[in-house]
Amino acid sequence: MNDFNPILDALNDTDTQYIIEPKRKKRLIALMIAAAAAAMMLMTGFTVVLASGSPGVNVQIGRHTDHQFSYNITDKKGLNTPTKDELLKMGGVDDGIENSMYSFYFDDALPSDILKLYNAEPITLGNDNFIEQPCKIFVNSLGYNDGQCDYLDFNYQLTHKKSGVILRFSCYVSINDFDPIVTHETDETFDKEIIPLNDGSMCLILEQHIEKTDGSYSKADFSYDGIIYRVISTANNVDKELMKEILSDLGVL
């Protein structure tokens, strides 16, 4: 077990929100994201604010919001959606978060084992450039219509083999027309860069320098092969250039 898990345990009931506006659906929907992402925001200073701007990725400085790019999202077919009872039998713990079909976490599981339950195949699965170890994994099944899952949200931890840094990954897999508005709140201490990826998608990289430690936290937000990803460094030793190297080893750059 790593040092990050006690932080997740302490923040397990943290309520953090995205507001998303799905295509062809008129009302705004509140999505409760995993406590792991909330923990990362507190640790690194990264925040995501209530939705403003256009669908896709936005950056807000003060009261000014700029749209950066839209996600390239594809509805994925052939996914499994285990029931609450099935996840409980596998050792999952019900978070009890509202506004979701279910929100579970696994205290000590391999990311690949959980992802395979759903027949999900994100770019991190089976990538030899990253090391997986048992960690705390969050799984959300979200829907806007009763009894229908519109997308799945996975949050888990991997280690970048080359640098040894621990990273927290979130991936959002669309099943039924998922298209969120995501707005990152920043200030003048953040260094922002947008880079093109191999499939023509765009990626936002945010770096925040920490003067006290002379280190940097970084985050990448992008879609690739139809899935949305967010990668956050768990320690202040990842600058933009190292994040680009991480993205290259993911195979997207």
Measured CA distances, 163 to 69, 130, 197, 217 (Å): 29, 10, 21, 14
Distance CA 178, CA 22 (A): 5
Instruction: Tally Cβ neighbours within 10 Å of residue 98.
Output: 9
Distance CA 159, CA 35 (A): 19
Lowest mean pLDDT of 2-11, 40-49, 162-171, name the range: 2-11
pLDDT cut 70: percent of the chain above it: 74
Mean pLDDT of 241-252: 96
Q: Which of 248, 229, 250 is nearest to 37 (CA)?
A: 229
> Does pTM top 0.85 for this prediction?
no
**Which tokens sit at 44?**
């690194």
Distance CA 139, CA 152 (A): 7
Residue pair 218/238 in contact by the 8 Å Cβ criterion = yes
The four Cα atoms 252, 158, 114, 2 give a dihedral, to 10 degrees, of: -170
Given this model, what pLDDT does residue 51 score? 54
pLDDT cut 90: percent of the chain above it: 37
pLDDT of 44 > 70? The answer is: no
- Please give the full DSSP string across 189-232, using - where no structure is assigned: TEEEEEEE-TTS-EEEEEEEEETTTTEEEEEEEEEETBEEEEEE
Mean pLDDT of 119-147: 84
Lowest mean pLDDT of 1-10, 37-46, 99-108, name the range: 1-10
Lowest mean pLDDT of 29-38, 107-116, 194-203, 211-220, name the range: 29-38
